[in-house]
Structure 1
């Protein structure tokens, strides 16, 4: 009897030890799995595309220039300008304007959307963007269907689509403009104002209300057709950031095309660029006319901007389509 009790105690002890060891084993396994899971989450790409623009680990050159925290679009909560930004931006204005900037901003956001945009980026998104310039190298390219396949199609100034659909596409989600390049838009397109002066902001408000501004440094339309609920205004601080970080102080201020491209790097997960640069014979003209345009001018450093765009492709941040002509 005593021997049986002894055996029974040994079996009970062994069973208890096995239970404890099993519990500790499974607990440690769970912890290991949790650690692996956390590690995988932390190493996930910033988007669901094959190559994400904001993956800064693969290009130190890009990381030194790209600033994800810079304000992109103006709203009432971020409208106060730093002194250096305000001074630089106001110096761009050829004709001095004594209008009160704060009052102009208040007026703007009494009419147009006053909200944050493009804050829904994440590891489950793959937002593809086509930035479409106006170069003659688009002619004969047959890029139209490819351009229209993108989530966002960003067009610059007055670049038309009618009669050019096979080469430039027909879809437009964003139209970049300022008063001197204004054009009518359909109801689904975002009007993105690039304000190079306070008067540009005043014109925007006037075009939807009083229609009394018809002149800047040249004649401008008093009104345009566009959806006021899709109006966006580029932040002057973003313009200064592009000038400092990407144009590296070359020229007086960045060109509209260059600003648009860097804008796309901040709202897109994948950026493909069409209609930038010269034609195959080295000429610079628009696809919709044959008037030669200067590569360099007093305001923009075209050569430096072009080299930066090429470097962005070399760093796998954009794909540059040069056309077939």
Structure 2
């Protein structure tokens, strides 16, 4: 498979009120990442887009696809009103490092796989300007293997953890309530219910909140995954996010551990029958390997089971 990021969709909710910023993908049939002769960054190679243009609206069709992920029953109009209220509290323009010809935006995407144990990747991970971690992935006690630097924490309400004042809080919303949760949990407190417990209060720097557009999920599902699985995993969406905000992307902590199990590096696995559920885990992993083979990213596999 040959990947062409000619018109990558970018991602983050921004102005106007129900808007999102994303670069429209003109050619859906296949895509590659192009490197320009006149380099736009100071990396050895740069992930670039030759001719982006921005669209500031989420369509009702995209909304209708998204609302089915967790059986959202409310309307497109309610979504718009909720997002308008969201922007009364959080910044309309995402805090993204802009490309410069004299600067290399390096990005480490750190998954939670047990293959990070005994990897000694920690110092290498911490050298990156941007370090993206997922959900409840912890660092304390595991610094030698996973590092301790976090600039962006990707999660959803049911997996949310507090972040410090210097870390970007990057929620992936799956339903309208996820926007409402962040509004309330960061102010007066959230009292609603979800399919599993959610925190009533969350500590985060409101100026560093970057909400990923619901249309981004649809784009990743259709273009990158060919509609396989019900929707992409958080880890895979975080990787594609990194391809759009960094010049150089290095990936750690994805895939099964050395025994072939889907474990987390901070826990001793008792249930060895875990699978990737609604996500096409094997297909996502194969794409990551192909991107590495094509030298679009560098994939540090860790202690994985060699097949």
Q: Tell me the TM-score normalized by structure 2.
A: 0.81
- Which residue does 1:241 correspond to in 2? 219
- The answer for unaligned runs of 5 or more in structure 2 is 1-35
Map residues 1-325 of structure 1 onto 2, 5 A cutoff. Answer: 43-54=37-48, 69=53, 78=56, 80-98=57-75, 100-118=78-96, 120-291=98-269, 292=272, 294-297=274-277, 299-324=278-303
Mapped contact 2:95–2:208 kept (Cα < 8 A): no
Which secondary structure state, in structure 2, belongs to the residue aligned with residue 100 of structure 1? helix
Aligned to 2:25: none
Whose helix proportion is higher, 1 or 2?
A: 1
- Structure with the greater alpha carbon radius of gyration: 1
The RMSD of aligned alpha carbons is 2.0
Q: CA offsets, 1:66-125, max 9 Å, x none?
A: x95577xxxxxx3x3212211101111235235711111111110001114436213222
Alpha-carbon distance in structure 2 between the residues aligned to 1:70 and 1:281: 44
Distance 2:200 2:149 in 1: 26
1:112-156: per-residue Cα shift (whole Å, max 9, x none)?
A: 011144362132221001000000011111111110000001000
Alpha-carbon distance in structure 2 between the residues aligned to 1:165 and 1:293: 28
| Helix, strand or coil at the partner of 1:232 | coil
Structure 1 unaligned blocks of 5 or more: 1-41, 57-66, 72-77
Q: Distance in 2 between matches of 1:52 and 1:306?
A: 23
1-structure distance, mates of 2:128, 2:220: 24
- CA shift, 1:237, in A, is 1.5
> Aligned partners of 1:220, 1:252: CA distance in 2, in Å?
23
Q: 1:118 to 1:287 in 2, by over 3 A?
A: same
Q: How many residues align?
A: 266
Q: Name which of structure 1's ranges 119-128 and 154-163 shifts more when overlaid on structure 2.
A: 119-128
Provide the TM-score with structure 1 as the length reference: 0.77
